[in-house]
């Protein structure tokens, strides 16, 4: 995490002191590093150099327009899961012709919007969706480009809530049924078959499951070719993990190597849908210690960020490293908690911190599934977001105002 390092005893984001950001923008604030985003993208671009490939950034991991715009300028496409995310792609200057649309519950309105904007591909997740899409395309006089999202039934060995490729879950169609469904799709003139899609899970640290999934996708592609169905692309999804604690995370190149070996000699374009690995370690959540509360069994550091700002610890029992922005005084062991009225409202447990009240702390690896999973629980306004670029700081989302939170609400007459 070299873009968030200590200089002369205090943490910086690139060339900007986090203390300066807190003074200017307040806390809690998500702080992103543009250099970290660019570097994570370059790791994919380098690993894929010389091969026909397209990166589709998974918008749900962080959908701030400025972040999406950084990737759009680098030439990426986008993986979306809602009509709202399509609107963001357009507002961020992204190219709809490089958009793939995943998700099990696409509505007719979302299909119409995506067809009207000419997205690259629908990743269709069920037979029922296939038929609805054909019907909506017909009503617009258009053909819908599709891939079937297949479920290769490989175990990605990750958290059960974020594994998606096993038989027992709601995503995609079982790979054993896929061939039959492709033949059905081929008969529908409103559909244009473009590829095969799969995404087996998130925070993957072992390259073997994705390579195994790729093997199954290639076997399906060969079987379809024998039936005269040609494919433009194979989409292997996202999922590469990041280092939150002391995990051993393969370099992007090493993670992709076994997958690329399986695809060697295939003529189809490769699509990947990374989210977390592009943004996760490009952001920290900057927060202030409001109170230190000492108890008989444990001490609490009560900070001004909470589960509504960063849900992952409460939701998945996820670990995020927490550090003092400027350590001082005597270190002690604290549960780092927010002010929300839930016992599950913790950001970290049993952490050694040298802090005093009103000091700043940084919660690391908060760039992915941080702001996008935030809520207004307890009528808490959402945090501000800033992006650091060298010595410059740009406000990329203003802190919400309390009035905004109930602006759409009405009293009874």
Ligand X SMILES: *Cc1c(COP(=O)(O)O)cnc(C)c1O
Contact positions vs ligand X (CB under 6 A): 58, 60-61, 79, 102, 199, 202, 237-239, 273-277, 368
Burial of 199 (0-12, 13-18, 19+ CB in 10 A): buried
CB of 81 to ligand X, least distance (A): 6
275 annotated as ligand-binding = yes
342 is in an annotated binding site: yes
Does 209 show up as a binding residue in the annotation? no
Taking the complex as a whole, the smallest distance from the CB of residue 237 to ligand X amounts, in Å, to: 5
**Residues 52, 260: contact at Cβ < 8 Å?**
no
273 annotated ligand binder: yes
308/377 Cα distance (integer angstroms):
6
Find the shortest distance in angstroms from Cβ 41 to ligand X: 13
Handedness of CA 312, 317, 321, 323 (dihedral sign): positive
Q: What is the dihedral sign for C-alpha 322, 327, 328, 331?
A: positive
What is the CA angle 192-195-200, rounded to 5?
135
Residue 276 is labelled as binding a ligand: yes
CA atoms of 154 and 152, how far apart (whole Å): 6
Q: Which is nearer to ligand X, 102 or 287 (CB)?
A: 102
Is 28 a known ligand-binding residue?
no
Q: Which residue has the tokens 């986090």?
A: 18
Q: How far is the CB of 319 from ligand X (least distance, A)?
A: 16
369 assigned ligand-binding residue: yes
Q: Closer to ligand X by CB, 25 or 369: give it.
A: 369
Contact 70, 92 (CB under 8 A): no
* Cβ 251 to ligand X shortest distance, Å: 16
Where do the DSSP E strands lie in 159-281?
173-174, 191-197, 233-235, 269-272
Please say which residue, 277 or 374, places its beta carbon nearer to ligand X.
Answer: 277
121 noted as active-site residue: no
Which of 276/312 has CB closer to ligand X?
A: 276
Neighbours of 357 (CB within 10 A): 12
Q: 25 vs 101, which CB is nearer to ligand X?
A: 101
Question: Catalytic pick from 121, 168, 198, 341?
Answer: 341
- Write the CA distances from 145 to 124, 139, 194, 266, integer angstroms: 10, 15, 6, 21
Q: How far is CA 66 from CA 6, 94, 199, in A?
A: 26, 11, 26
For 24, the 3-state DSSP assignment is helix
Residue 170 structure tokens: 């709601």
Q: Which CB, 96 or 274, lies closer to ligand X?
A: 274
Least Å distance between CB 332 and ligand X? Answer: 35
239 is in an annotated binding site: yes
- Nearest distance in Å: CB 262, ligand X: 19
Judged on CB neighbours under 10 Å (0-12, 13-18, 19+), 392 is exposed
Q: Strand (E) positions, 119-209?
A: 121-124, 144-151, 173-174, 191-197
Q: Is the distance from CB of 407 to CB of 37 less than 8 angstroms?
A: no
Cβ proximity to ligand X: between 106 and 199 the closer is: 199
Q: Is 108 helix (H, G, I), strand (E, B) or coil?
A: helix
Cβ atoms of 391 and 30 closer than 8 Å:
no
Gap between the Cα atoms of 401 and 403, Å rounded: 5
Q: Is 141 a known ligand-binding residue?
A: no
Residues tagged in the binding site annotation: 239, 273-276, 312, 316, 342, 369
Binding site members for pyridoxal 5'-phosphate: 239, 273-276, 369
Catalytic residue list: 341
List residues forming the annotated binding site for substrate.
Answer: 276, 312, 316, 342, 369
């Amino acid at each position: 995490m070299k873009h968030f390092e200590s200089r002369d005893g205090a943490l910086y984001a690139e060339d900007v002191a986090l203390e300066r950001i807190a003074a200017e923008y307040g806390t809690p604030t998500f702080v992103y590093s543009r250099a970290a985003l660019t570097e994570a993208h370059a790791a994919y671009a380098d690993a894929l150099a010389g091969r026909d490939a397209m990166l589709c950034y998974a918008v749900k991991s962080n959908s701030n327009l400025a972040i999406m715009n950084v990737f759009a300028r680098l030439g990426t496409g986008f993986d979306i899961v809602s009509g709202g995310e399509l609107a963001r792609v357009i507002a961020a200057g992204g190219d709809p012709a490089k958009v793939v649309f995943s998700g099990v519950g696409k509505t007719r309105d979302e299909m119409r919007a995506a067809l009207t904007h000419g997205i690259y591909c629908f990743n269709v997740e069920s037979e029922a969706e296939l038929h609805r899409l054909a019907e909506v395309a017909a009503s617009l006089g258009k053909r819908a480009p599709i891939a079937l999202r297949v479920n290769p039934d490989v175990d990605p060995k990750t958290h059960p809530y974020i594994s998606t490729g096993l038989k027992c879950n709601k995503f995609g169609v079982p790979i054993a049924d896929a061939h039959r469904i492709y033949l059905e799709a081929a008969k529908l003139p409103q559909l244009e078959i473009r590829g095969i899609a799969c995404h087996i899970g998130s925070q993957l640290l072992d390259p073997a499951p994705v390579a195994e999934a790729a093997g199954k996708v290639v076997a399906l592609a060969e079987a379809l070719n024998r039936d005269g169905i040609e494919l433009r692309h194979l989409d292997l999804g996202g999922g590469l993990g990041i280092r939150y604690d002391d995990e051993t995370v393969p370099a992007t190149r090493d993670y992709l190597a076994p997958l690329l070996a399986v695809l060697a000699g295939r003529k189809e374009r490769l699509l990947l849908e990374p989210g977390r690995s592009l943004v996760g370690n490009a952001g920290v959540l900057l927060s202030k210690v409001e109170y230190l509360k000492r108890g008989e069994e444990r001490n609490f550091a009560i900070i001004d960020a909470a589960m509504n700002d960063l849900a992952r610890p409460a939701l998945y029992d996820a670990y995020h490293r927490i550090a003092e922005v400027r350590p001082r005084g005597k270190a002690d062991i604290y549960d780092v908690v927010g002010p929300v009225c839930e016992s599950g409202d913790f950001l970290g447990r049993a952490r050694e911190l040298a802090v005093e009240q009103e000091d700043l702390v940084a919660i690391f690896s908060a760039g992915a599934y941080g702001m996008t999973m935030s809520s207004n629980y307890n009528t808490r306004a959402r945090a501000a977001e800033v992006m650091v670029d060298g010595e410059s700081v740009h406000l990329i989302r203003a802190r919400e105002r309390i009035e905004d939170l109930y602006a759409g609400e009405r009293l009874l007459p």
